[in-house]
Amino acid sequence: MALMTDFKTEYSNYVKIVNDTLAGYLQFDDGPGSNIYNAMKYSLTAGGKRLRPVLAISVCDMLGGSRQDVLPFACALEMIHTYSLIHDDLPAMDNDDYRRGMPTNHKVFGEAMAILAGDALLNKAYEIMISHMLKRGEHTKAFAKAMDVIASNAGADGMIRGQTIDMESEGRTISGQTLEYMHRCKTGALIKASVLAGASIGNATSSEYDSLAKYADCIGLAFQIKDDIMDVKSSLEQMGKQAGSDAASNKTTYVTMFGLDKAEQLLDESVESAAAALECFGNRAAFLRELAFYIRDRKN
Ligand code: GRG
């Protein structure tokens, strides 16, 4: 299915709102130590699809929620995602030289500053969410619920757990079950947090929340399978990072485990299931439905 032009325009509009809002959060003076902001800004403004904030905002939009309220949470999600990429690229982890088409943070600012930039982005994310909650003084429960889902999915039972399994399984054979669990944590958890934060701020009913959780699980899986497929099929130019890095580090992926054809079939199935999970929203979910196909058809 070809992507609708409307979808691409709508997606770019969301990205613009996110980028403009992020810029506002990174104003700084040039006093001692302000270089930390240069390092944070470098990775945060290096590009990227902005998938997580786009998910949070579009889910909230679909439910008729407030843009003003969802934006700080959307930006916080992008900051958490960017911190994870900076740390993932460090010599102690994946030791990557390129990210988002540019030299990695530690290549430009040095390893110690890259660690701090990741830490500072993580902190900034919570500063932004908490200060928005305090400023608004109403809907506190919805904001707290969004923060709870973000914190738990980004932490030791979510993204960081996935990264731990990834590190520990390098060079070893893992089962299909462990592979799926690893990706559900490492990649899927923050994607799910993005969808559910948007759902909380948009005041989803409990059945809407459950449908969106199902959608999020399916696109999270699809995202990872596509990532694995691109790792064998794409070039550095397309991906903005070294292609073939999974094979080089002897990692189990959907492609090494199932072969390319089966991985592509699993990808199609996850995207179809994601679309099916949105049925209860009817036409209101057109953008989110297209987004699932975008995840399958993306080139980077
Ligand atoms: C170091 C705490 C810690 C966690 C790292 C997210 C992660 C866990 C590592 C990133 C490594 C990686 C390539 C994971 C596969 C999927 C993924 C998250 C890709 C990058 O996300 P995109 O494609 O990136 O949304 P952009 O640059 O578009 O935002």
Tell me what pLDDT residue 15 has: 98
Residues 6+ apart with CB under 8 A from 280: 207, 208, 211
Place of tokens 């196909």: 293
Tell me what pLDDT residue 239 has: 57
Measured in Å, residue 131 CA sits from the centre of ligand 1 at 27
Q: Compute the C-alpha angle 181/237/45, nearest 5°.
A: 75
Tell me what pLDDT residue 28 has: 85
pLDDT (tens place) for every residue of the chain, 300 residues total: 455 569 999 999 999 999 999 999 988 888 999 999 999 999 999 999 999 999 999 999 999 999 999 999 999 999 999 999 999 999 999 999 999 999 999 999 999 999 999 999 999 999 999 999 999 988 899 999 999 999 999 999 999 999 999 999 988 889 999 999 999 999 999 999 999 999 999 999 999 999 999 999 999 999 999 999 998 887 555 555 555 566 666 778 899 899 999 999 999 999 999 999 999 999 999 999 999 999 999 988
CA distance 180 to 169: 13
| Per-residue buried b or exposed e for 267-289, using 16+ beta carbons within 10 Å of the residue's own CB | beebbebbbebbeebeeebbbbb
Measured in Å, residue 84 CA sits from the centre of ligand 1 at 7
**Residue 300 alpha carbon, nearest atom of ligand 1:** 23
**Residue 94 alpha carbon, nearest atom of ligand 1:** 11
Class for the domain spanning 7-297: mainly alpha
Q: Which of 160, 179, 186 to mutate to test ligand 1, by most ligand atoms within 8 A of the CB atom?
A: 186
Q: Sketch the domain layout of the chain as residue ranges.
A: 7-297
Measured in Å, residue 89 CA sits from the centre of ligand 1 at 10
Query: Whose alpha carbon is nearest atom 3 of ligand 1?
Result: 84
CA distance 273 to 222: 10
Q: Which of 18, 88, 122 to mutate to test ligand 1, by most ligand atoms within 8 A of the CB atom?
A: 88
Tell me what pLDDT residue 161 has: 98
Q: Is the CB of 243 under 6 A from ligand 1?
A: no
